[in-house]
Amino acid sequence: MPRDAADSLFIETLSSCFAADMFDEAEQSYLEEPRGRYQGMRGYVARPRSTKEVADLVTACGEANVGIVPYGGGTGLVGGQIAPEGASEAPLILSLERMTDIRAVYPQENVLIAEAGAILANIQSAAEDVDRLFPLSLASEGSARIGGLLSTNAGGVNVLRYGNTRDLCLGIEAVMPDGSIWNGLKRLRKDNTGYDLRNLLVGAEGTLGIITAASLKLFPRPAATGTAVFVIRDAEAALELLSLAKSHLGESVNAFELIHRTGLDFLAQTLPDVRKPFGDHHPEWMVLIDIGLPKGLDPQEALEDLFVAAEAESIASDAVIAQSEAQRTEFWSVREHIPEANRRIGAVSSHDVAVPLGELPRFIARVRQAIAEVGAFRINCFGHVGDGNLHFNVFPPEGRARDEFLTETKAIKRLVHDIAFDLGGTFSAEHGVGRAKAADLARYGDPAKLAAMRAIKAALDPKGIMNPGAVLA
């Protein structure tokens, strides 16, 4: 459906109805994404301070047939927060950055209510202040905002124990495409009253409404935590170690991260100050394990027992167990800096896939073989193996630049996604669809599901003003 532009005339018309500092020309920071692969269309940004102002803006855009791109922390990796150059009409960028309040904390209920613009790290700190844990954790937590994290159903490193962002949400407040406000900020653990609108909006990437606040689940803080890096035999051994860890530790395993030697090589090349657990020795495959135990249990002893068992079964050959919080932080720094090292090297093609756990070794082997037939590329395979989510990134040969292989990008992405799909997996595990993967959704999505999604979109947003071009191409 054709839309009008959020141009200077539109902004001038609205300005008399809002605070003087509501609108600005969009600075470059609103037009970029972390990997630098998309350039947004120049236009205007609105920065409301309340849900009422968000509703008024959405109403005005609906009446004028102007598109809206919701904007959180700008950390998304699939272009969902950017209207790219070449779009027909410039939308209004609606940033939630001023809506940052922690509205309430209920320690006894293990609930925290935050506005959509609250930064994840600040929510974590607010939970810590009442001796609670908000377990969502990812590399961009110092800038990512909870509204965007909910809109993309972000994952992170603790999904194995606590689930995705959707699993951490009890209720939301949202502005619907017609400008109405849905007051769904419930603190209930059970509410069986009709369609689950919360879970419809969570993960919708702003295409069905704008999340303005959320009721979030908190958890008791583990009395003791431990972290270790295990050197494992091969990728298949990661699954064997995961099974063994669950047998020994039950649900105490917070995170289980697969790391390949290439990731360490890239760190040594681009970020040499990042200390690696085995120094200059870069094992072929490693697993970073993080556990949280109740009072009375020793995490170091638990990890030592796990290694002894893993070594006896020829799963692991070496391990380093953190002896202090500082060393624990160092281990996690390795994992958290791998994406930045990847960015500096420059990937030909990056992938956020998930396959059934049992298919992980086969997926890795098949994709490696398929890519080798395309060219002599380097592969950095890492990720949240505990939940089947791999970041399988392909890089140019040593001494070559990414831009030399742009013609191969599409073919590589296609074969990676084809293999994931063939093994019962998905082309998007935690980053969402955005604009970058809308064509993939059309290709791999179940026809009945796609038809239902389009019907829902048409019913809730008949004018198509909510994040046009995202998710459904």
Q: What percent of the chain has pLDDT over 70?
A: 99
- Statement: residue 36 has pLDDT above 80: no
pLDDT in the model for residue 1:
55
Burial-class residue 279 by CB neighbours within 10 Å (0-12, 13-18, 19+): exposed
Q: What percent of the chain has pLDDT over 90?
A: 87
Of the pLDDT bands very low, low, confident and very high (cuts 50, 70, 90), residue 5 is confident
The answer to whether residues 350 and 269 touch, using CB atoms and an 8 Å cutoff, is no
- Statement: residue 407 has pLDDT above 70: yes
pLDDT in the model for residue 87:
67
pLDDT tens per residue, range 81-123: 988 766 668 899 999 999 999 999 999 999 999 999 999 999 9
- Statement: residue 457 has pLDDT above 70: yes
SS (H, E, C) the chain: CCCECCCHHHHHHHHCCCCCCCEEECCHHHHCCCCCCCCECCCEEECCCCHHHHHHHHHHHHHHCECEEEECCCCCCCCCCCCECCCCCCCEEEECCCCCCEEEEECCCCEEEEECCCEHHHHHHHHHHCCEECCCCCCCCCCCEHHHHHHCCCCCCCHHHHCCHHHHEEEEEEECCCCCEEEECCCCCCCCCCCCHHHHHCCCCCCCCEEEEEEEECEECCCEEEEEEEEECCHHHHHHHHHHHHHHHHHHEEEEEEEEHHHHHHHHHHCCCCCCCCCCCCCCEEEEEEEEECCCCCHHHHHHHHHHHHHHCCCEEEEEECCCHHHHHHHHHHHHHHHHHHHHHCCCECCEEECCHHHHHHHHHHHHHHHHHHCCCEEEEEEEHHHCEEEEEEECCCCCCHHHHHHHHHHHHHHHHHHHHHCCCECECCCCCCCCCHHHHHHHCCHHHHHHHHHHHHHHCCCCCECCCCCCC
pLDDT tens per residue, range 177-209: 999 999 999 999 988 889 999 999 999 999 999
pLDDT in the model for residue 60:
96
pLDDT in the model for residue 355:
96
pLDDT in the model for residue 2:
53
pLDDT tens per residue, range 356-380: 999 999 999 999 999 999 999 999 9
**Domains of the chain by start residue, with CATH:** 102-220 (3.30.465.10), 222-342 (3.30.70.2190), 346-429 (3.30.70.2740)
Length of the chain: 473
